[in-house]
Amino acid sequence: MIKIEYRVLGKTGLRISAVGFGGIPIQRVDEKGAMALVDSLIEHGVNFIDTARLYTNSEELLGKALEGRRDKFVLATKSMARTAEAMRAEIDESLRNLRTDYIDLYQIHNIPEGQIDAACASGGLVEALLEAKAAGKIGHIGLTAHSTESFKRAIELDFVETIMFPYNIVERQGEELIALCAEKNIGFICMKPLAGGAIEDAEIAIRFIVSNPAVTVVIPGMADAAEIAQNVSATSNTSPLNAEEQKKIADIKESLGTNFC
Q: What is the pLDDT of residue 166?
A: 97
pLDDT mean across residues, the chain: 94
The DSSP 8-state label assigned to residue 241 in this structure reads P
- Length of the chain, please? 261
pLDDT > 90 in the chain, percent: 86
* Residues 92-100, mean pLDDT to the nearest whole number: 97
Tell me which long-range contacts 230-234 makes (C-beta under 8 A, separation of at least 24). 230/202, 230/203, 231/19, 231/202, 231/206, 232/2, 232/4, 232/19, 232/44, 232/45, 232/46, 233/2, 233/203, 234/19, 234/202, 234/203, 234/206, 234/207, 234/210
pLDDT digits (tens, 9 = 90+) for 11-33: 999 999 999 999 888 888 899 99
Q: What is the pLDDT of residue 261?
A: 52
The torsion region of residue 57 among left (phi > 0), alpha (psi -120 to 50) and beta comes to alpha
pLDDT at 208 (0 to 100): 95
Is the pLDDT at 258 greater than 70? The verdict is no
Distance CA 155, CA 139 (A): 19
CA angle 204, 259, 212 (to 5 degrees): 40
DSSP string, 68-102: T-GGG-EEEEEE---SHHHHHHHHHHHHHHHT-S-
The average pLDDT across 128-149 equals 97
With a cut of 90, say whether residue 259 has pLDDT above it. Answer: no
pLDDT for 186-205, tens place per residue?
A: 999 999 999 988 998 999 99
Identify the H or E element spanning 144: strand 138-144
- d(CA 248, CA 245) in angstroms, rounded, equals 5
Tens digit of each residue's pLDDT (9 = 90 or more) over 210-223: 999 999 999 999 98
Given a contact cutoff of 8 angstroms between Cβ atoms, the answer to whether 103 and 69 are in contact is no
